[in-house]
Amino acid sequence: MEMIRQRCQCRRVEVDGEARWLVEVLDGNGNVRISNAMGSFEPMGVEELIEDMKAGRYAFAFEDERVESRGATDHGPGVTVGLSPVERLKLARRTSVLAD
């Protein structure tokens, strides 16, 4: 997803004489983000970034594992059940523009 890719950078590093790629999660200023885990000073991983996004502003873009469809067709306005990630992003952009 583009919003995840925008918050990451890949950097080539050498480990034991072998070239490898390191993925770094960045904050809004381009600095490496530190993990939210209590007492951690380690860099944030992509998995943690995704969990952070699921719990915050971008929750709409991820399938909610807790929601199970019961066969209803009308879920009400703004509900994203059954929408693809791209459709959820489009919906969120439309509603965010309307809210501003």
Whether 8 and 50 map to the same domain: the answer is yes
Rounded Cα–Cα distance for residues 50 and 20 (Å)? 23
Asked whether residue 2 is domain-assigned, the answer is yes
Place of tokens 């072998």: 18
Please say whether the beta carbons of 58 and 7 come within 8 A.
Answer: no
- The pLDDT value given to residue 77: 52
Within a domain: 25:
yes
Per-residue confidence (pLDDT) for residue 96, from 0 to 100:
55
Total structural domains within the chain: 2
- According to the model, what pLDDT value does residue 99 have? 44
The residue assigned the tokens 């306005």 is 77
> Which residue range is the domain that position 33 belongs to?
1-56
Q: What is the pLDDT along the chain (100 residues), one digit of tens a residue?
A: 788 888 999 999 998 999 999 999 999 899 999 999 899 899 999 999 988 988 888 888 876 555 555 544 444 555 666 777 777 777 777 765 544 3
pLDDT of residue 87: 78
pLDDT of amino acid 15 = 87
1 & 34 share domain: yes
